[in-house]
Amino acid sequence: MKSSIGFIEYRSVARGLEATDAMLKNGTVELVQATVLCPGKFVSMVTGDIGAVESAVKRGIGYDPTFAISSFVIPNVHPSVLPALTATTTAAVTGALGIIETIDASSAVVAGDTAAKNANINLLEIRLARGMGGKGFVFLCGELTAVQTAVRTTEIKIGEEGLLIATSVIASPHPDLKF
């Protein structure tokens, strides 16, 4: 069961790939993403049972700690996070639109999970730092009050850590508005 997600950001593509290989060989985890991000960083995300994910992340950091920038494990990740990360969500834009802009990729994943766990919204996409100067974005939709709640709870959690750039809630987005 894919109940947890682990994330490591590296400052080297070469070391990130090697560490990701070590993570995957360490246990029974599944690769979500292993990709280059702006500006010249590398990110690895795995999913699986909490113990396997924790072990894999520990192995990935331990492979060469001088190149690991940040990491986290989210136990009991909200089921809508993985589809939002891989752009496989089936949710359509309905109701209000919420946007959460974070300082880095890892905080965008945490923001998406926080939003989904605290309000009845649809996660549309969690976009990670490609072509965006290292920033992350979360796009979500739903009833206006739910979107406001999701954005506000995320502002509190991510803002306390100094990782929030900006948020926005558009009550009734124009149909031509694309993101």
Chain centroid offset of residue 22 CA: 22
CA 43 – CA 99 distance, rounded (Å): 22
Domains and CATH numbers, the chain: 4-74 (3.30.70.1710), 81-170 (3.30.70.1710)
- Could you read off the pLDDT tens digit of each residue along the chain, which spans 179 residues? 568 999 999 999 999 999 999 999 987 999 999 998 877 889 999 999 999 999 999 999 999 899 998 899 999 999 999 999 887 888 778 899 999 999 888 899 999 999 999 999 999 999 886 666 678 899 999 999 999 999 999 999 998 888 999 999 999 999 888 76
Q: For residue 8, what are the β-bridge partners?
A: 44, 71
CA 38 – CA 58 distance, rounded (Å): 24
pLDDT at position 79 is 93
CA 13 – CA 82 distance, rounded (Å): 23
What is the pTM for the complete model shown?
Answer: 0.88
Residue 137 tokens, joined: 């974005």
Task: Compute CA distances 156 → 5, 74, 100, 165, whole Å.
Answer: 22, 18, 12, 12
pLDDT at position 55 is 96
